[in-house]
Structure 1
């Protein structure tokens, strides 16, 4: 990994662990194994490095979700794969963590990629729910945009429940409950 990549990865991890205020240039340099000169040679300062880290975090989250949501299969199967994918539940969501950081949310440039990523996820889930409705897979009572919001809220809320209890069991229970509510309709005779 080259020096700029090491700096971005170090910043990404520190933002996830400590937030913007808790991520000092010294901590970034230490984590990346580079000196101050290297950091400022590649980036104008902490704000530029934070933006690069936020953009990379958002891209990685979108890529991971897209691998599951953009595959062939039933709508329920794709949503289920997204909800059940392996996660570091007790660490929380790297994008969700950014939404709880007052410094990130207050900065339009740092908040924009986070907002776009969450909007993309909700939009993609809305499309998939609509596909399931069109195929007769889901109850016709489902409203695609509201269901997509519930999926995102379940994941983010599941992280909060797991972190509060110190156990991934709470996350798993939230996901299992949502999947039961979304379970495909069975035809009645």
Structure 2
């Protein structure tokens, strides 16, 4: 059974992802969670603290689900990575990328959000770098600067998601991903 804190975290993340931090009234979050304001104050001082916790926890959970397989693979890691990149069910193209949305809305106006989003984005890049490092280790990728390649991949992914959100066409995302995979494949040599 989901506890009150989990309900608050889930509702807060969903409302912020859907409407932005500034567009997600506390009353809507509490209503969605099915809890009273007093229950929120048991766990969090205010909406901002709850939002920072929700964003951090949910984003790290998503990364763990999406990239934790890397340590278990001894063969086919790039193929698995490509499969996950092409999985349209793993992304919400109507709402876009939660990282990009929050960075664009809040990083310039609130230092706490800025620090959190920088750390989340860094973890994202490190997850991708780990996949690339493992691919080199198991000889699926030629040695290369995996830090730069991870930056290229994460930046390309963000742009692909934004393109699909802007046009409403998931094929835009897939076309960009296919081009990116072709580029990585050239490095496989």
**TM bin (shorter chain):** 0.7 to 0.9
CA deviations over 1:80-109 (Å, ceiling 9, x no partner): 13412332233212222221222x553333
Unaligned runs of 5+ in 1: none
Contact 1:7 1:29 in 2 (8 A): yes
CA distance in 2, matches of 1:133, 1:106: 40
Alignment pair present for 1:101 and 2:105: yes
CA distance in 1, matches of 2:161, 2:112: 25
CA distance in 2, matches of 1:68, 1:162: 27
- In the superposition, the TM-score normalised over structure 1's length comes to 0.83
Cα distance change, pair 126–67 in 1 and its aligned pair in 2 (3 A): closer
Matches within 5 A, 1:40-189: 40-72=41-73, 73-85=75-87, 86-102=90-106, 104-133=107-136, 136-138=139-141, 142-183=144-185
Cα distance change, pair 185–116 in 1 and its aligned pair in 2 (3 A): closer
Give the equivalent residue in structure 2 for 1:37. Answer: 38
C-alpha deviation, 1:170, in angstroms: 0.7
CA distance in 2, matches of 1:155, 1:25: 31
C-alpha deviation, 1:30, in angstroms: 1.6
CA distance in 1, matches of 2:43, 2:9: 10
C-alpha deviation, 1:75, in angstroms: 4.3
- In the superposition, the TM-score normalised over structure 2's length comes to 0.83
Contact 2:142 2:188 in 1 (8 A): no
Cα distance change, pair 14–130 in 1 and its aligned pair in 2 (3 A): same
Q: What's the RMSD between the two structures over aligned residues?
A: 2.4
C-alpha deviation, 1:186, in angstroms: 7.7
